[in-house]
């Protein structure tokens, strides 16, 4: 048998095949167990994913604040900031990074093995260190 | 099955109106209509089952379990269906993925340590494959190691490209080609050993 004949025979196996028994009853029973398409089970987003998204936005906006803050960040509530920079222009970024850190730490309690969360947490800590250095340099 | 059973069966199964497209039925199923999902199941079960059966070494019991699993996953993932392909194509790919995951989960493939060079080429003129009965060919394929069988079935039977197989099986394109070569060689060897 040449290769063409081989392939023809192989392709002939590609045909719909009816299951020997009706599988629907078993499927339907498990739909009950696993809940339907549009139930809250599917709407329930992963909590850590939501926290990560919030944290990412917070870090991003913190970074933007770091560059753009004109010194008008006095309105930021001090109680939310774990570390208060000497330079008031950095306060906004510090608050955002603290919030991101807090969210991520909370999320890590729910999903301690999440590599994505760990990376985000490490990134947030590095950004906070950078902010501290900038604050020191600013004197 | 007697006439009463037949009548009961046809009464229990939803009608499959030809005029209702898959898209409409999918939308109804997405809204939670299980009868609509049953219609989709009945339209596509045979194609899905056929593909899974081939990947599952023609083991009907296992293919039945995997087919059920595939449709349950389809129900769970229905929200992610974007109507960018036909529903039949979507559920078929999902079902193949379920079957491949099962192969990966079993994690046993002794063929992966066989040296390619020791396997004969299927196009070897000294060892021509004779024309085969379908059952004989199915049995030979069923005897292949799982991963080699998966590549052979996807490429030679289902008509997939190596690039697609590589993605689904999480391997390099070159590995897919090597597995196919290996699988064809093993198949020829298995068939050659038969009287």
Q: Let me know whether B45 and B87 are in one domain.
A: yes
What is the distance of C-alpha A16 from the center of its chain?
A: 41
What residues make up the domain containing B186? 114-193
DSSP letters, B10-76, are HHHSPP--TTS-HHHHHHHHHTT-HHHHHHHHHHHHHHHHHHHHHHTTT-HHHHHHHHHHHHHHHHH
Q: What is the mean pLDDT of residues A106-113?
A: 76
Q: What is the mean pLDDT of residues B165-177?
A: 91
Interface test with A, best of B75, B77, B128, B137 (most A CBs within 10 A): B75
B12 domain residue, yes or no: no
Q: What is the DSSP letter of B131?
A: P
Domain of residue B91, CATH code: 1.10.1740.10
Q: What is d(CA B68, CA B31) in angstroms, rounded to the nearest whole number? A: 21
What is the rounded end-to-end Cα distance, in angstroms, of chain B?
Answer: 39
Cβ-Cβ contacts under 8 Å, B75 against chain A:
27, 31, 34, 36-37
Q: Let me know whether B68 and B123 are in one domain.
A: no
Residues 6+ apart with CB under 8 A from A129: none
pLDDT higher than threshold 80 for residue B39: yes
Number of domains in chain B: 2
pLDDT higher than threshold 80 for residue A4: yes
Q: Which of A2, A13, A37 sits opposite B75 (nearest CB)?
A: A37
**How far apart are the CA of B22 and the nearest CA of chain A, in angstroms?**
17
The reported pTM is: 0.59
Question: Mean pLDDT lowest for which of A48-52, B71-75, B87-91?
Answer: A48-52
Interface test with B, best of A13, A21, A22, A30 (most B CBs within 10 A): A13
Q: Let me know whether B71 and B121 are in one domain.
A: no
Out of B58, B90, B106, pick the residue that ends a domain.
Answer: B106
Q: What is d(CA B36, CA B75) in angstroms, rounded to the nearest whole number? A: 11
Q: What is the mean pLDDT of residues A22-39?
A: 77
Cβ-Cβ contacts under 8 Å, B130 against chain A:
1
Residue among A136, A108, A133 at smallest CA distance from A122: A108
What is the distance of C-alpha B53 from the center of its chain?
A: 6
A11 to each of A15, B8, B133, how far by Cα in Å?
8, 37, 13
**How far apart are the CA of B77 and the nearest CA of chain A, in angstroms?**
7
B4 domain residue, yes or no: no
Out of B44, B74, B106, pick the residue that ends a domain.
Answer: B106
- pLDDT bin (cut points 50, 70, 90) of residue A19 is very high
Q: What is d(CA A20, CA A13) in angstroms, rounded to the nearest whole number? A: 17
Q: Let me know whether B84 and B156 are in one domain.
A: no
B135 domain residue, yes or no: yes
Q: Let me know whether B39 and B99 are in one domain.
A: yes
Q: Which residues of A touch B (CB under 8 A)?
A: 1-3, 5-7, 9-24, 26-28, 30-31, 34, 36-39, 42
pLDDT digits (tens, 9 = 90+) for B90-122: 999 999 999 999 887 775 543 333 333 333 344
Q: Let me know whether B140 and B99 are in one domain.
A: no
pLDDT digits (tens, 9 = 90+) for B121-157: 444 444 445 556 788 889 999 999 888 999 999 999 9
pLDDT higher than threshold 70 for residue A75: no
Cβ of A2 within 8 Å of Cβ of B128? The answer is yes
- pLDDT bin (cut points 50, 70, 90) of residue A134 is confident
Interface test with A, best of B60, B67, B156 (most A CBs within 10 A): B156
pLDDT digits (tens, 9 = 90+) for A46-70: 555 555 555 565 555 555 555 554 5
Place of tokens 């079960």: B45
Q: What is d(CA A99, CA A76) in angstroms, rounded to the nearest whole number? A: 12
Q: Let me know whether B176 and B124 are in one domain.
A: yes
Report pLDDT for A62: 56
Out of B51, B81, B106, pick the residue that ends a domain.
Answer: B106
Q: Do residues B58 and B140 lie in contact, with contact meaning Cβ atoms separated by under 8 Å?
A: no
B162 domain residue, yes or no: yes
Cβ-Cβ contacts under 8 Å, B137 against chain A:
9-10, 13
Q: Do residues B81 and B30 lie in contact, with contact meaning Cβ atoms separated by under 8 Å?
A: yes
Q: Let me know whether B70 and B129 are in one domain.
A: no
Q: Let me know whether B45 and B81 are in one domain.
A: yes
Cβ of A18 within 8 Å of Cβ of B49? The answer is yes
Q: Let me know whether B56 and B25 are in one domain.
A: yes
Long-range contacts of the stretch A125-131 (C-beta < 8 A, 24+): A125/A101, A127/A59, A127/A62, A127/A63, A127/A97, A128/A83, A128/A94, A128/A97, A128/A98, A128/A101, A131/A66, A131/A85, A131/A90, A131/A93, A131/A94, A131/A97
Q: Let me know whether B85 and B133 are in one domain.
A: no
Q: Let me know whether B32 and B93 are in one domain.
A: yes
Other beta carbons within 10 Å of B89: 12
B3 domain residue, yes or no: no
């Amino acid at each position: 048998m040449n290769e063409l004949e081989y392939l023809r025979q192989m392709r002939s196996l590609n045909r719909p095949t009816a299951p020997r028994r009706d599988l629907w009853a078993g499927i339907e029973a498990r739909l009950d167990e696993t809940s339907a398409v549009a139930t809250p089970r599917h709407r329930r987003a992963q909590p850590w994913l939501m926290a990560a998204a919030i944290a990412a936005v917070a870090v991003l906006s913190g970074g933007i604040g770091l560059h753009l803050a004109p010194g008008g960040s006095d309105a930021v509530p001090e109680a939310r900031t774990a570390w208060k920079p000497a330079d008031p222009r950095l306060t906004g970024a510090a608050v955002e990074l603290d919030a991101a850190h807090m969210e991520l730490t909370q999320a890590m309690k729910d999903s301690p093995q999440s590599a994505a969360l760990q990376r985000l947490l490490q990134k947030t800590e590095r950004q906070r260190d950078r902010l501290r250095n900038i604050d020191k340099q600013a004197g | 099955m007697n006439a009463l059973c037949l009548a009961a069966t046809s009464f229990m199964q939803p009608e499959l109106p030809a005029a209702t497209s898959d898209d409409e039925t999918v939308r109804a199923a997405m809204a939670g209509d299980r009868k609509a999902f049953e219609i989709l199941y009945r339209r596509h079960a045979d194609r899905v089952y056929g593909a899974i059966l081939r990947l599952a070494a023609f083991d009907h019991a296992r293919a039945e379990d995997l087919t059920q699993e595939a449709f349950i996953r389809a129900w769970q993932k229905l929200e992610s269906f974007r109507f960018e392909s036909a529903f039949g194509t979507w559920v078929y790919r999902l079902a193949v993925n379920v079957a491949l995951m099962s192969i990966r989960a079993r994690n046993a493939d002794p063929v992966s340590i066989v040296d390619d060079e020791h396997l004969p080429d299927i196009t070897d003129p000294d060892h021509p494959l004779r024309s085969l009965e379908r059952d004989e060919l199915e049995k030979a394929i069923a005897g292949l190691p799982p991963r080699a069988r998966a590549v052979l079935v996807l490429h030679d039977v289902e008509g997939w490209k190596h690039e697609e197989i590589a993605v689904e099986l999480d391997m390099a394109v070159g590995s897919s080609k090597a597995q196919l070569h290996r699988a064809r060689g093993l198949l020829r060897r298995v068939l050659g050993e038969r009287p």
